[in-house]
Amino acid sequence: MVTVDEIVDLLEAGVVRHIAGRREAAVSRPASVLPGAAGALSFCKFHGDQLRSALASTASSVVLVPEDHELPDDPEPHLLVVANPRTEFMRVLGRFFAAERAVGIHPSAVLHPAAVVGPDCYVGPNAHIGRATLGARCHISANVVILDHVRMGDDVTIGPSTTIGYTGFGYGRADNGQPVPFPHYGGVVIGNRVDIGANTAIDRGTLDDTVLEDDCKVDNLVHVAHNVRICSGAFVIACTILSGGVTVGRNAWVAPNSSVREQLTIGEGATVGLAATVVKDVEPGTVVVGSPARPLPPRP
């Protein structure tokens, strides 16, 4: 059981703006706010009538809610008022309700003798690790292929059937039209706390490295070509294609099914909209949509 006091201590002073209900209330599991569940912790991001309707219907015992001027004085369920209920809910789940983390190397995994695997890592069934280096507490799921010249930091998670460090697609043509491959001598450098989804491909660099900086998140079914740099805190979502040499700036968001042509920069804090085709640099802090992608006009 987790008490309201324990949740408040985790979230720290200033995050919890108001507590409505008994501080000794306790929860034993998370649940969606609707329908909710007895003894559960939930969150609600609605305001106004939607918020009050959800609170009147939920079966949950404690709910994280946003600030609202018409919250009940003596509510049931008990309420913790926070600025961002969804984010704080995730923090509570990570601390009190996370699944036990697996540790060890599955007998069917294949590791090169020169592979370096840090402490408290997990390497799943049929995974293959070449001459690569893994930091501490990395989680390598089933059927992942990590090839030579890959270096990753601590607390990296890689989903099933992802391939990291394979040669990218780079060719020239001889005078007679014969394709000439561009040799790849670079590697892949992955920072700390990076999450990479399932069935994603991250190519090694040509002469320099492909780089994923600390705290970036790459979804399932993403293609990251050679010499891409994904800066810290950036999100790259499912079915996106980042062509060779692309830079995704710090805390940028690249939405599903987007395509970004080679050598472009997505600026810091920018957003690339759903299924956008990016053919020009995206300025920091802007939102682009469409094919070809264009900035959204400012709201009136």
User: How far apart are alpha carbons 59 and 64 in whole angstroms?
Assistant: 14
User: How far apart are alpha carbons 288 and 146 in whole angstroms?
Assistant: 34
223 in active site: no
User: How far apart are alpha carbons 175 and 300 in whole angstroms?
Assistant: 56
User: How far apart are alpha carbons 188 and 26 in whole angstroms?
Assistant: 46
User: How far apart are alpha carbons 86 and 84 in whole angstroms?
Assistant: 6
Q: Do residues 271 and 252 touch, judged by C-beta distance below 8 A?
A: yes
Name which of 93, 155, 86 is nearest 121 in CA terms: 155
Burial of 35 (0-12, 13-18, 19+ CB in 10 A): exposed
User: How far apart are alpha carbons 184 and 203 in whole angstroms?
Assistant: 10
User: How far apart are alpha carbons 1 and 35 in whole angstroms?
Assistant: 21
* DSSP-assigned letters across all residues of 97-156: SPPPPP-EE-TT-EE-TT-EE-TT-EE-TT-EE-S-EE-TT-EE-TT-EE-TTEEE-SS-
Contacts of 113 (CB under 8 A, 6+ apart): none
Active-site annotation holder among 78, 128, 149, 226: 226
Name which of 165, 153, 258 is nearest 203 in CA terms: 165
User: How far apart are alpha carbons 163 and 106 in whole angstroms?
Assistant: 18
Phi-psi region for residue 150, left (φ > 0), alpha (ψ -120 to 50) or beta? beta
Residues acting as catalytic residues: 226
